[in-house]
Amino acid sequence: MIRLKAFSILFFTFLALHSAAQVKVLGKVNDAVTKEVLPNVVVVLKPKNAPSKVVSKSDKEGRFIVNNLSDGTYDFVFSLLGYSQFSKQVVISGKDIQLDLSLSEIQKDLEEVQIKDKNNEFGIGRLRSVENMAIFAGKKSELIIPENMTVNLATNNARQLYSRVAGLNIYENDGAGLQLSIGGRGLDPNRTANFNVRQNGYDISADALGYPESYYTPPVEAIDRIQIVRGAASLQYGTQFGGLLNFIMKKPVEDKPIEVVTRQSGGSFGFFNSFNSISGTTGKLGYYAFFQYKQGDGFRPNSNFNAYTGYINLKYQVTENTSVNGQYTHMNYLAQQAGGLTDKMFYADPLQSNRERNWFNVNWNLFDLELEHKLSERSKIAVQGFGLVASRESLGFRPNRPATPDNGGPRDLIDGKFTNWGIETRFLNRYMIKELPSVLLLGTRYYEGLNRSKQGAGSDGSDADFKFVNKEDELLSDYRFPNKNIALFGENVFNLSSKFSITPGFRFEYIRTISDGYYRNIATDLAGNVILNEQINETQNRPRSFMLLGLGASYKPKDYLELYANASQNYRSITFNDIRIVNPSFTIDPNIKDENGYSADIGIRGNKGRFVNYDISAFAMKYGDRIGEVQFDDGKFVKRKRANIGNALIVGVESYSELNLMQVVKSQNENLKWSVFGNLAFIKSEYTESQLPGVKGKEVEFVPDMNLKTGMSFGYKGFKTSFQYSYLSEQFTDATNALIPDPNTGTIGVIPKYYIMDFSASYDYKFLRFEGSVNNLANQIYYTRRATGYPGPGILPSDGRSFYLTIQARF
C-alpha cells in the first residue's frame, strides 16, 4: 500500500512537471511591404528527428498559435501562396514565445506547400495596397468573389452580383446577362461605358477611347474575382470617370492535371445555359478553358437570343522568375430586339412589342499575351500585348415613335467594325526609405485603332440578314475612325510610419481622335419623292495632350481599421459619336471637347475578424463639360445638337456593412452561417453652370437620391440561401429634368422609384451542386431605362418574376 502511494505521488509529480513544460508559440504575420495582416498562412512544424506536420494557420487578423510544445529545438516554416517561405528556428525552454514576422511577396507559386487562399466569407472585400502589378493604396475599392455568394450566376444577374457595391445604378433590361450596364455617381449605365472595363488587366470594350461600350461581358461562372476601383483609378488606367472594372478570370488548377466542371441551367422564358470548363497543370504548363452556350425566348415577345462564348488561357513557367501567359476569347450572340414603348403603351401592357424585324448581332474576339519577369527580390516587370477584332450589327425598323406600326419595307442597318491593339508595360519596385518600405510603379501604354461605321438600307425581310442593299457609295453614312493613345503613368506608396502612408501619382496622355467619312443629306416632298440627295464629306482631326495628377492617403491605427482619402483629376475623351454627323437633323458643336473634372473620396473601412465588414465614405465629383444632347430650333426645324451641356457637382455618402450574426450570438457551430448586409447611398447632384436654357440648377441625369440594397444569407453545412431587397428612388433622364414624359417617343421623362426582391439557394453534395433562384419575387412591373436608340427607342421594361435551376458537377 505504501509502495502504491509512493508510486502515485511520483506519477502525478512527473505529470505536473511535464504539463508545466507544455508551452505555446504565438504571433502575427503581415506583408513585409504593405504591413497588412496575412490570413491563412500555413504554419509547418519540423521537430528534430521527426516528420514535418501542419500545426496551425493564421486567422483573419494574421494571428496564429501553436500549443502544447515541450522543451526543445524546433524549425518553424511559414508559407502562403504568392509569398516566399519564412523559416525560423525556435528554442523552447519552459516559456511561451511571441513570434511576429513578415512575408515577402513573390511571383511564382509555392511548390513546397500547396495552399488555396480562403476568400472573404462575406463575398466582398477590398483590394490590398499593392496587388500584383498595381497600386490601390488610399483608393476606394471593392473586390467581389462570386464563389462566396449565393446568387444567380447563370444569368449574370448584376443586381445580385454587385449588391454589396454602394451606389451603383444598373440597367435591367437584359435578363440573360448578355451585356452589363452599370454606372454610378451620375454616370450613364449604358453598356458600362463610363468605366474602364478590362479582363485580366486588358481592354475588352469596343474602343477604350473612341467607343468605350462593352458589348462583351464574361460569364460569371468563369470569373474568379471582380476588381472595382472608383474615380481615382484614372491615373493608372486612364479614361473614364467611373473608374476601373476588371474581371479576373479563373486560373489553371494547380494540384491536378485535369479538372472538369459542367453546369447546366434552365429557367423561365425558355432559358437554357450550358457552361463547361476544363483546367489543370502539367509540369510547367497550366491551362484553363471554358465554353458556354446560352439561349432563351426573353421576357417579352420578339426577344429571343442565343449566345456562344469560349475562352482559353495557357500559362507557361519558363524559369523560376519568368512566365508567359496567352489568352484568347470569342463571343458571338444574336438577339431579337423587342423595341421600346411609350408611357401609355407601358402602362397599358408592358409585355407588348410591335417590332418583329429588329435584330442585333455581336462578334467579339480578344487576344492577350503577357510576359512577367522578376528582376530581383524587390523588382519585377510585366509586358502585356493585347488586341481586339470585333463587330456589332443592328438591323430593324427604328422610327422615333414606338407606337408606329411596322408595315414592312427596307430596314435601317448599322454596321460597326472594331480593330485595335495596344501594349502596356509596368515596372514595380519595392525599396526602403529610413527603414520604412516604399513601392514605386511606373508604366507606359501605346494604343492604336482603326474602326469603321456604316449605315444604310437593309433588307425588307424579317430575318437577321445583315447585308446592305445600297451600293457601297450610296450608303447613308460611312466613317473611318483612326485613333492613337500614348500614356505615361506612375504612382508611389510612401510609408511615413508603420501606420500612415501617402500615394502621389501622375498620368500624361496624348490622344488623337480622327473622324473621316461622309453622310448623305436626303430630302423628300410630301408624296415621299426624293428631291435632294447629296453626299456631305467630313473630316476632323483632334490631337491633344495633358497631365493628370492625384494623391491618396491611408492611416491604419489598428490592423482591422483604415482611414483613407484620395483626390485625382479625371477625364473622358470625346467618342466617335461625339464628332460624327449621321443626318441633317443632327448637328455637332464644332467646339465640343473632352469632359474633365476630379473625384475625391474620404472614408473609413475595415473588418473585425469574422464579425463585421464595412466601408463608409463620402465623395465629391466635379464633372466639367459634361456631354449630352439637346433640342433646338434653327428657325426652320427642330434639331438635335450634341454638345458640352455644362458643369455638374455630384456629392454623396456611400455605405456598406455586413454583420456575422453567428459571432453576435457567440455560436461555436462552424457549420452554421448567418449574416445580414446593408448597402445604402444618398447622392445629391446639380448642374452648377450651363450656357443652355433650363439646365443650370437642375439635377444630373441617372442619379437616384436614394439607392438601397439589403439582404440576409443563411447556411448550414452544404446548404446556403440568400434573400435580397433592392430599392431605388426616382431619377431623371434628361438635363432639363422633364417631369412630363414625351408622349410620342418615351425617351424623356422620369424613371419612377421601384423595389425588387430576390431569393437564391444552393446545396453541395459530394461532387455535385444544386442551385435555384427566384428573381423579382414580388413580380414587380418596372423599368430602369428610357433608350434613345437601340434597343429602343422608348421605355425598356424589366423582367417579371422568373425561376431558375442549375446542376453542377466537378470531376
**CATH number of the domain encompassing residue 29:** 2.60.40.10
Residue 655: CB partners within 8 Å, gap ≥ 6? 166, 614, 615, 616, 617, 678, 679, 680, 681
The two most distant CA atoms of the chain are separated, in Å, by 129
Nearest 5°: phi and psi at 56? -165, 170
**CATH number of the domain encompassing residue 210:** 2.170.130.10
Contact 471/529 with Cβ under 8 angstroms? no
Whether 619 maps to a domain, the answer reads yes
Q: How far apart are CA 430 and CA 792, in angstroms?
A: 52
Q: How far apart are CA 359 and CA 171, in angstroms?
A: 20
Q: Check residue 57 and give its pLDDT.
A: 87
Instruction: Say whether 283 sits in a helix, a strand or coil.
Output: coil
Side-chain half-sphere exposure of 295, counting CA atoms within 13 A: 3
Q: What is the dihedral of CA 193, 194, 199, 205, to 10 degrees?
A: 30
Q: Are residues 251 and 213 in the same domain?
A: no
Q: Which one-letter amino acid corresponds to residue 211? A: Y
Residue 563 CA, distance from chain mean position: 24
What's the DSSP call for residue 699? P
Contact 164/724 with Cβ under 8 angstroms? no
Q: Check residue 530 and give its pLDDT.
A: 80
Nearest 5°: phi and psi at 592? -60, 140
Of 375, 264, 71, 101, nearest to 770 (Cα)? 264
Mean pLDDT by 10 residues, the chain (811 residues): 45 42 82 82 77 80 86 85 83 85 64 39 82 93 93 94 94 90 90 94 92 94 95 88 95 93 97 97 96 96 97 96 97 96 96 96 98 94 98 93 93 95 97 92 96 94 94 87 96 95 96 90 76 87 93 92 95 82 67 91 89 94 87 60 90 95 82 93 96 91 95 94 97 91 90 97 96 96 91 93 97 94
Q: How far apart are CA 528 and CA 520, in angstroms?
A: 17
Q: Are residues 600 and 696 in the same domain?
A: yes
Please report which helix (H) or strand (E) contains residue 160, including its range.
helix 158-161
> Three-state SS across 88-101?
EEEEECCCCEECCE
Q: Are residues 177 and 257 in the same domain?
A: no
Whether 118 maps to a domain, the answer reads no
Rg (CA), the chain: 29
Of 544, 545, 597, nearest to 571 (Cα)? 597
Q: What is the DSSP string of 20-61?
A: HT-EEEEEEEEETTT--B-TT-EEEEEETTS--EEEEE--TT
Contact 105/33 with Cβ under 8 angstroms? yes
Q: Which residues pair with 229 in a beta bridge?
A: 141, 244
Output the pTM of the full model.
Answer: 0.86
Residue 593: CB partners within 8 Å, gap ≥ 6? 574, 625, 644
Q: Are residues 173 and 260 in the same domain?
A: no
Q: Which of the listed residues 225, 245, 265 is the one where a domain comes to its end? A: 245
Whether 405 maps to a domain, the answer reads yes
Q: Which of the listed residues 221, 245, 269 is the one where a domain comes to its end? A: 245
Contact 318/721 with Cβ under 8 angstroms? no
Neighbours of 495 (CB within 10 A): 24
Q: How far apart are CA 44 and CA 233, in angstroms?
A: 39
Q: Are residues 391 and 516 in the same domain?
A: yes
Question: Quick one: cell of 85?
Answer: 517561405
Q: Are residues 218 and 266 in the same domain?
A: no
Q: Check residue 364 and give its pLDDT.
A: 97
Q: How far apart are CA 449 and CA 482, in angstroms?
A: 6
Boundaries of domain holding 674:
246-810
Burial class (CB in 10 A: 0-12, 13-18, 19+), 332: middle
Q: Are residues 642 and 766 in the same domain?
A: yes
Whether 683 maps to a domain, the answer reads yes
Q: Are residues 222 and 283 in the same domain?
A: no
pLDDT tens, position by position, 551-603 = 999 999 988 899 999 999 998 888 887 777 665 556 778 788 889 999 999 99
Alpha-carbon distances, residue 422 vs 486, 542, 734 (angstroms): 10, 20, 36
Q: What is the DSSP string of 548-576?
A: EEEEEEEEEEETTEEEEEEEEEEEE---H
> Which of 214-229 are b and which e, b meaning 16 or more Cβ less than 10 Å from the residue's Cβ?
bbbbbbbbbbebbbbb
Whether 117 maps to a domain, the answer reads no
What's the DSSP call for residue 231? G
Q: Are residues 159 and 40 in the same domain?
A: no
Q: Are residues 219 and 294 in the same domain?
A: no
Q: Which one-letter amino acid corresponds to residue 691? A: Q
Burial class (CB in 10 A: 0-12, 13-18, 19+), 393: buried
Contact 575/589 with Cβ under 8 angstroms? no
**CATH number of the domain encompassing residue 693:** 2.40.170.20
Residue 389: CB partners within 8 Å, gap ≥ 6? 365, 367, 418, 419
Of 623, 488, 511, 454, nearest to 208 (Cα)? 511
Arithmetic mean of pLDDT over the chain: 89
If one counts the domains in the chain, the total is 3
Q: Are residues 391 and 442 in the same domain?
A: yes
Q: Which one-letter amino acid corresponds to residue 321? A: N
Whether 12 maps to a domain, the answer reads no
Q: What is the DSSP string of 327-385?
A: EEEEEEEEEE----B-HHHHHH-TT----SS-EEEEEEEEEEEEEEEE-SSSEEEEEEE
Whether 678 maps to a domain, the answer reads yes
Whether 611 maps to a domain, the answer reads yes
Q: Which of the listed residues 201, 216, 245 is the one where a domain comes to its end? A: 245
How are the residues of the chain apportioned to helix, strand and coil, as percentages rounded to the nearest 5? Answer: 5, 55, 35
Q: Are residues 185 and 151 in the same domain?
A: yes
Burial class (CB in 10 A: 0-12, 13-18, 19+), 538: middle
